[in-house]
Structure 1
């Protein structure tokens, strides 16, 4: 028998934050190559293949170049592109731009970063399953005692999310309301790896190469 107690959370949209100016990279990191794909392409394709019902991609700096380069992924029927012209004010503005696009239709969201190339579809689906089957309003992945992203939020927190400022506001919600948080252990610490600069890119490409060799 299907458990319908927490049906209010089961309509989930993903919001991929990819509007940043890539200051430390020095050029748009969304378009750096990761194997056969661009960095942002990897994240979008993973989200499309997941159980997320909708995928919102928030662009800002370099939006036209990114949109023209990633046209195939960004025009997928499951994807909606949102432009955030306030991206210089912090990541919270991108979250709010994405949330504004889906809050009336979706009862929960998953926030993903466009610079985390090793988040796997299986991890997204595991988080969704755990979140939607619980009575918690927030769900975070944990490895070795450290939490990371993607993070799920119930619609009960939409108003709080719309009031955030800067880059780190959502962390305060997690810190101040631990009783509302479901922590889900994951096996792959690379899920949390993000690419901010050239050194990160080198490490990421090295991991990608070794991982690809191991699968052959």
Structure 2
């Protein structure tokens, strides 16, 4: 079973005022932390989706050379997250991936264990159409989708993320993995978030 990560890194950083993925965190950057985790996992490939003019200079050179990495530029990223997702899914279809995990580049504290739990879930139950992280009963990324979901995901438009599909009776077609630690689903959207991230990193 082949599974790819779709690493969404084409956001506008509108609330930050500058490219948040390039902000330093120790010897790393905001955008490199979750990618490092994805590359350590058993994912077969990681598709890094960036804006058209973004050469991913916010990533360390050795990370960009990792054999698992595949960089995809999304010229329509300004139309919303669904555009980036669609570009990733098209590549997953080309590469005949059995499932994808949607990962946000601004979620620095996701763990290898989280990803492996999702991968194990879908390998043990191939009828499962999705595996989603939840915090306090709210669905959060990362989220795994089986290939049976690709067509539905491709129909999303605008800034609707993949979790727009995950509601109502459809929730019975997959598995929810509760996350007890809010930090694991923390995302960096504002200056205050970035300051909090730096404090957490210093106390590790």
Question: What's the TM-score, normalizing by structure 2?
Answer: 0.92
Secondary structure, in 3 states, of the residue corresponding to 1:195? coil
Q: State the shift of 1:126 in Å.
A: 1.2
Query: Does 2:65 match 1:75?
Result: yes
Distance 1:31 1:61, change over 3 A: farther
> In 2, are the aligned partners of 1:19 and 1:60 still within 8 Å (CA)?
yes
Q: After TM superposition, what 4+ stretches of structure 1 lie above 4 angstroms from structure 2? A: none
Q: Any gaps of 5 or more consecutive residues in structure 1? A: 1-9
Query: Does 2:186 match 1:193?
Result: yes
Residues 98-136 of structure 1: CA deviation (Å, up to 9, x unaligned): 111121320110000000000011111112112321231
- The CA RMSD over aligned residues, in Å, is 1.6
Distance 1:38 1:181, change over 3 A: same
Secondary structure, in 3 states, of the residue corresponding to 2:166? helix
Q: 1:23 aligns with which of 14, 20, 36?
A: 14
Q: 1:111 aligns with which of 94, 99, 102?
A: 102
Distance 1:206 1:51, change over 3 A: same
Q: 2:131 aligns with which of 139, 153, 167?
A: 139
Distance 1:86 1:15, change over 3 A: same
Q: Any gaps of 5 or more consecutive residues in structure 2? A: none
After TM superposition, list the pairs within 5 Å mapping 1:25-104 onto structure 2.
25-60=16-51, 62-64=53-55, 66-67=56-57, 70-104=60-94
Question: What's the TM-score, normalizing by structure 1?
Answer: 0.87
Q: State the shift of 1:67 in Å.
A: 3.6
Aligned residues: 201
